[in-house]
Structure 1
Amino acid sequence: MKKHRANVFLALGAAVMLAGCGSGKGEGTQLRMACFPNITHAQALVMKNGNILESKLGDEYEVTWNTFTAGSSEVEAIFAGEVDIGYIGPVPAINGNVKSEGDVTVIANAADAGAVLVKGSDSDIESVSDLAGKTVAIPQIGNTQHLCLLNLLSENQLAPVSAGGTVEVVAVENANLQNMFDQGTVDAALVPEPWGTILTASDNVDLLLDYQDIYLNGDYPVAVVVVRNEYMEEHPEVVEEFLKAHQEVTNEINNNLESSADAMISELEALTGHAYEKETVLGAFSRTNVTTSLNQEALYKFADTSYEQGFISALPEDGFINTALSEQIAADIGE
């Protein structure tokens, strides 16, 4: 893989100015986007549903969307040059940067928090310390919710079985959790929204910890935006227009959640075949902060934990986060 270090962004302002004079922009330029069919990728759902990027970039640009259900799959698509800009979880973003030796850079935040810890209603679990000897589900090994769970266990002098402790941590697809709670095969689960809202609406799952008690008082990213550095070098004007749209849609979601929720529900149904209740989506956003502002310290903490747990082979180098343009756009447009 050709190596493009994150310091390419140091000259971002100049690159965008040159692009406006004819550099980088040309007939048939592609923008290949990626996202998950998840509530936490809210801006992507609204953009895709309303063809917002297509309208913003014009006919000379071809915008395509790829959807994934695992961060590792999206990272591989980025490595293969099949994705230019992607909405992704913070931990896969870190992994992508490390594995590419700096070719993948975080350029904006998308959402914070949006995860809860739930338990079976009939269990004797009253606090995190009661998870000793229990089976706890997370969506994927090494993902954001897994790292949050490991931190909670450590704070309560517990550890997973894989590290010599007594808590059995298992990866379970969110859609299968209700059945597993019904069967008693899991005792608790740390899940992203809207699954926290969906599960606690049932008769046999209760809330154990709300979003603000999971990690850093809820001030941690659950979805970020990454770019291939090579694409940024070649098409800085496209990245700038995307970031403007990202900020505008963020503002629209926060100012008009009701109508934005309709667009998300429509797009989620198109992508998954599942029609979410509007009440469920609105409930999910009571625990999810849609924002372009990134808590970089939280991202570095995730990197440290990923490295300590052996999920990444090295720590990302300085410069793997560069939100300068996103911050400038937020200042210009308002957040």
Structure 2
Amino acid sequence: MKKTAKFTTLALAAMMLTGLAGCAASADAATKPVANLDAGTPASEIRIGYFANVTHAPALVGLQEGIFAKDIDAKITTQVFNAGPAAIEALSAGAIDAAFIGPNPSINSYIQSAGRSVRIVAGATTGGAALVVKSDITKPEELKGKTLTTPQLGNTQDVALRSWLKGKGFQTDTTGGGDVHITPTDNAQTLALFQQGKIDGAWLPEPWVSRLVEDAGAKVLVDEADLWKNGAFPTTVLLVNADFLAKHPQTVKQLVKGDVDAITWLNDNTAKAASAINEKLKADAGKGLSDAVLNRSLEHVTFSADPQAQTFQELVQHGLDAGTQKRGSIDGLFDLRLLNQILKADGQKTVSAAGLGEQ
């Protein structure tokens, strides 16, 4: 049985700047890994959050193709979110146990909770985000005084935009003021506002980049891949509640196995992938994507279980530059032991936690 819900975030800005309720912990507890991944008990249910985005294709096909159902013994319940901070709110409140989510909300939750709240246990998607603008905007300098949107305050694309703008000499703030006005907006509403000429652009994940390009005549001003070494930056990782991991490592391992198998399916079935993704998008969002949008989206993403841990210290700095997180350590954020057990058993190359946790 699948249950779908959306979470509102009326106090999101205050939550992100002052800490997540129920997550206070001592610094001593921050980096302690699960002592024994063979301990604990299997869970009877696992509640998984994800977004109806192409960047969440491993979750989409994992559900659509029955991969998760095959790999996971527990009952699977799902919830669909628009962006990461809302999913973090649900994860922190105990409404879900795991989420396919962007890196910056993961970082923020970990720092706010002094390392107690969450662990990244695998990657999912690399790439697939960009700043798209009106066709008459040709260079960054022309963004002064313009209005841009992102999916949600503090989400990965919101942080990327604010950090990039700061690097270009622009000032922004979390209330929409500054040299460039940033108004976090639901993705579907962003498309409508752009079509109506009420905003000048947006930093978005796929398929929304391609929707604005193909359906609304936008152009890409900044492909985020151009800002990273070898174009590799994490868009979606698999994040779990740290207490759930400690109590039910067997079930988390099954979820990670499902993620790995879904990624393998996507990479081995490129001819079928678009159709499977679209069917799940129709089920979750009520409407699928055009062939042009879906094909363009898939050209800009890579599916991989490697969470690109080596990029996370830079992502921390982006959050500080954006003004959406406080200073803190991310040592211990990753626990890739279960992932590497699975990869090794499958004859695949293991991945690194880049000194930021267990591997």
TM range (shorter): 0.7 to 0.9
1:274 and 1:6 map into 2 onto residues whose CA distance is: 43
Residue 117 (structure 1) aligns with = 131
CA contact (8 A) 2:171 2:179 kept: yes
Question: Is the contact made by 2:160 and 2:318 (CA closer than 8 Å) also made in structure 1?
Answer: no
Change (3 A) 1:151 1:314: closer
What corresponds to 2:267 in structure 1? 254
2:163·2:319 contact (CA, 8 Å) conserved in 1?
A: no
Asked if the contact 2:82–2:187 (Cα under 8 Å) also holds between the matched residues in 1, the reply is no
Q: What is the aligned partner in structure 2 of residue 286 from structure 1?
A: 299
Corresponding residue SS for 1:86: strand
The answer to whether the 8 A contact 1:135-1:169 is kept is yes
- TM (norm. structure 2) is 0.81
Deviation at 1:257, TM superposition (A): 2.1
- Counterpart of 1:40 in structure 2: which amino acid? T
State how far apart, in whole Å, the 1-side matches of 2:37 and 2:217 are.
Answer: 56
**Structure 1 residues 279 and 183, CA gap change in structure 2 (3 angstroms):** closer
Distance 1:82 1:166, change over 3 A: closer
Does the 8 A contact of 1:5 with 1:229 survive in 2? Answer: no
Structure 2: 5+ residue runs without aligned partners?
A: 1-21, 350-359
Residues 136-285 of structure 1 aligned to structure 2 (within 5 Å): 136-160=148-172, 165-202=178-215, 204-216=217-229, 218-285=231-298
Structure 1 partner of 2:53 = 38
1:268, CA displacement in angstroms? 1.1
What is the Cα deviation at residue 55 of structure 1? 2.1
Whether 2:33 is the aligned partner of 1:8: answer yes
SS in 2 for 1:329: helix
The alpha-carbon deviation at position 301 of structure 1 amounts to 1.9
Alpha carbons of 1:79 and 1:166: their partners in 2 closer, same or farther (altered >3 Å)?
closer
Asked if 1:54 corresponds to 2:69, the answer is yes
CA distance, structure 2, for counterparts of residue 236 and residue 325 of structure 1: 8
Q: d(CA) in 2 for partners of 1:164 and 1:76?
A: 25
Q: Confirm whether residue 84 of structure 1 aligns to residue 84 of structure 2.
A: no
Counterpart residue number, 2:324: 311
**Identity over the aligned pairs, expressed in percent?**
28
Please give the secondary structure, in 1, of the residue aligned with 2:125.
strand
SS at match of 1:202: helix
Q: How many residue pairs end up in the alignment?
A: 321
Q: Which moved more, 1:107-116 or 1:199-208?
A: 199-208
* Deviation per residue, 1:146-169 (Å, 9 max, x gap): 222123223323333679852222
Q: Which has the larger radius of gyration?
A: 1
Amino acid at match of 2:61: V
- 2-side partners of 1:184 and 1:276: how far apart? 22
Asked if 2 retains the 8 angstrom alpha-carbon contact of 1:118 and 1:208, the reply is: yes
Counterpart AA for 2:165: L
- TM-score (normalizing by structure 1): 0.86
Higher share in helix: 1
Contact kept, 8 Å, 1:6 with 1:229, in 2: the verdict is no
Q: For 2:277 and 2:177, locate their aligned partners in 1 and report how far apart those are by CA, in whole Å.
A: 42
